[in-house]
Chain A
Amino acid sequence: MEESTSPRILIVDDDPETTDIICRVLSKEGFDVTTTVDPRQAIEYVEDEKFAVVVSDIQMPEISGHELTRAVHDTVKGTQVILMTAYSTIDKVVEAYQVGASDYLLKPFEDLDEVAEAVRGAVRRHQRWHEALRKTYRQSEQRWA
């Protein structure tokens, strides 16, 4: 099977309607999208596959988006996490950034393009992270050559 070169995005929300809306928006934008309504399965996906961006709800049964963000960063470096919620307080926003989310979306979305723009921004950050990593490796190889 031919491997996709489109950035891979994982969407996690216990409401299948929300994952479906975001999946359709991002698929139209050319991203390679995987969805799940189960945050435990999301952790398994992240362990097995490489995603540029994870878009996750905060309030989910059993595992919160904050816990999922920590698990993603413990498992893989460079993957960007966008958290979203319909329950927003200043504390929640601060906590989202504290656990390592790179962006924050409030539901309902003001505009579906807002979601696509947030993911495009996260993909750019993911690419910059990998470029910086490659550059660092090259420099360290030259130093030891």
Chain B
Amino acid sequence: MDLSDLYTPQELAEKRISFLERVLAFYNEIPETADRARTVGHKLRGTGGNLGLADLAERGTALQWQAQEGASSDVLKGELARIRPQIEAAIARERAILSERGA
């Protein structure tokens, strides 16, 4: 069983957009850098991975590991800044799928 057995492409795109927009919101909602990195990394790894967002899940795993190992605030801020455009690009890709399918 895989995601295509559970969702239509439109449904999956909608789920991914909703999830990724929530992850982006953490950038503003969580003031402390290490907490923000842990949360963003954790969500991308777990739920992102389950939604089939493999590249972002991999980045999330690395970020979570860095935060867990006590990487400096500057290192975590840099990594968070590098991941953000990837999240935005993923949202744009999913929106394109919705628009192609006339949703």
Contact = CB atoms under 8 A, between A and B. Distances in A.
Interface of A: 15-18, 20-21, 24-25, 28, 59, 85-87, 107-109, 111-113, 116
A17 B19 contact: yes
B15 A108 contact: no
Contact of A17 (B5, B42, B45, B50): B50
Contact of B47 (A87, A107, A111, A116): A107
A16 B42 CA distance: 15
B103 interface: no
A112 B1 contact: yes
Contact of B43 (A15, A85, A111): A15
Contacts of A107: 45-47, 49-50
A3 B30 CA distance: 44
A15 B1 contact: no
Nearest to B14: A17
A17 B64 contact: no
Given A21-B3, A87-B46, 19 more contacts: A15-B46, A17-B47, A20-B15, A25-B1, A25-B6, A28-B6, A59-B42, A86-B42, A86-B46, A86-B47, A87-B42, A107-B47, A107-B50, A108-B45, A108-B46, A108-B47, A108-B48, A112-B5, A113-B1
